[in-house]
Amino acid sequence: MERAIRTIRDTFFAARSFTDLDDLNRQATAWCAGFAADRVCPEDRTRTVRAVFADEQPRLLPLPDNPYPVIEQVTVRIGKTPYARFDGNDYSVPPAQVGQTLSVLADPHQVRIVCGTEVLATHVRSYDRLAQIEDPAHIEALRSAKAAARGHSGIDRLGHAVPNSQAFIAAAASRGEPLARVIHALEDLLERYGATALDTALTEALGRGVPHPHAVQKALEQERGRRHQPPPLAPLPAHIKARDVVVRQATLASYDC
């Protein structure tokens, strides 16, 4: 067996190129039917392997009608990101499978990721290393889930700080306004004007039947003008706030004489 492997490496694989696995299998089939069959049989050097095999073939059992399924099965744990690691590559799964243990069924051409009898994802098998093989539907579902999570966190924050925000958001949704944009705008106004002023402006916008952030901002600006207050300063971005939390005092030792 070891000698046969060395023979294949030296006479078939050496200096051979191929485009994919199917191309390699076609070349291997041609090599077996050509060069390998015409070489001298090691046990009878007066005959070829082809001639010896022709004598042996009638005594061999026929192959079964159904081809043997060459499937590799492994168990994988889906981490914090919706990808299953198999054979050095990452294959996408639906975001709802994060944190679950699934099974990978792989054949030479296809990778299936299953949970019990349910097929969750099907990908073309990759023979690269550290590649990401993605289904566009999985990526779009992940984007939608992230957007929904951000929206819920914004709604919760506004609901605790500004009671009228829930009715305002519901009215905006009934008019077909993009909720993510509405929530982001209300959070920005909350940072700039405060909860009390925003709650009053939301009440006024709802009373006028205009559940839109522009109407809320207009009401806030009108109230600021009546009070002769300066324009509110825009809040610092989160990364600036985090960077400037700690102010390090510079050492003055180099100035000492």
- Tens digits of residue pLDDT in 45-72: 999 999 999 999 999 998 888 877 789 9
The Cα–Cα gap between 91 and 156 comes to 34
Q: Considering all CA atoms of the chain, what is the largest pairwise distance in Å, rounded to the nearest integer?
A: 111
Q: What is the pLDDT of residue 148?
A: 60
Task: Tokens 């009934």: give the residue.
Answer: 174
Tokens standing for residue 177: 């306004």
The Cα–Cα gap between 173 and 170 comes to 5
Total Cβ atoms within 10 A of residue 113: 25
Task: Tokens 């400037």: give the residue.
Answer: 244
The Cα–Cα gap between 175 and 55 comes to 83
Q: Up-side HSE of residue 255: CA atoms within 13 Å toward CB?
A: 3
189 in Cβ contact with 198 (< 8 Å) = yes
Instruction: For 229-241, give the DSSP string.
Output: PPPPPPPPPHHHH
Show Cβ contacts of residue 109 under 8 Å, excluding neighbours closer than 6 positions.
21, 124, 125
Closest to 188 in 3D by CA, of 222, 157, 229, 147:
157
pLDDT tens for each residue of the chain, 257 residues long: 567 788 888 889 988 998 888 899 999 999 999 988 998 988 889 999 999 999 999 999 988 888 777 899 999 999 988 999 999 999 999 988 999 999 999 998 899 999 999 999 999 999 998 899 999 999 888 877 766 655 556 677 777 788 888 888 888 888 888 878 888 888 888 888 888 888 899 999 988 899 999 999 999 999 888 888 888 776 666 666 566 666 667 777 777 65
127-134 LR contacts (CB < 8 Å, sep 24+):
127/21, 127/87, 128/88, 128/89, 129/88, 129/89, 130/88, 130/89, 130/90, 131/89, 131/90, 132/83, 132/89, 132/90, 132/92, 133/89, 133/90, 133/91, 133/92, 134/92
User: What is the residue extent of each domain of the chain?
Assistant: 2-59, 72-134, 139-242
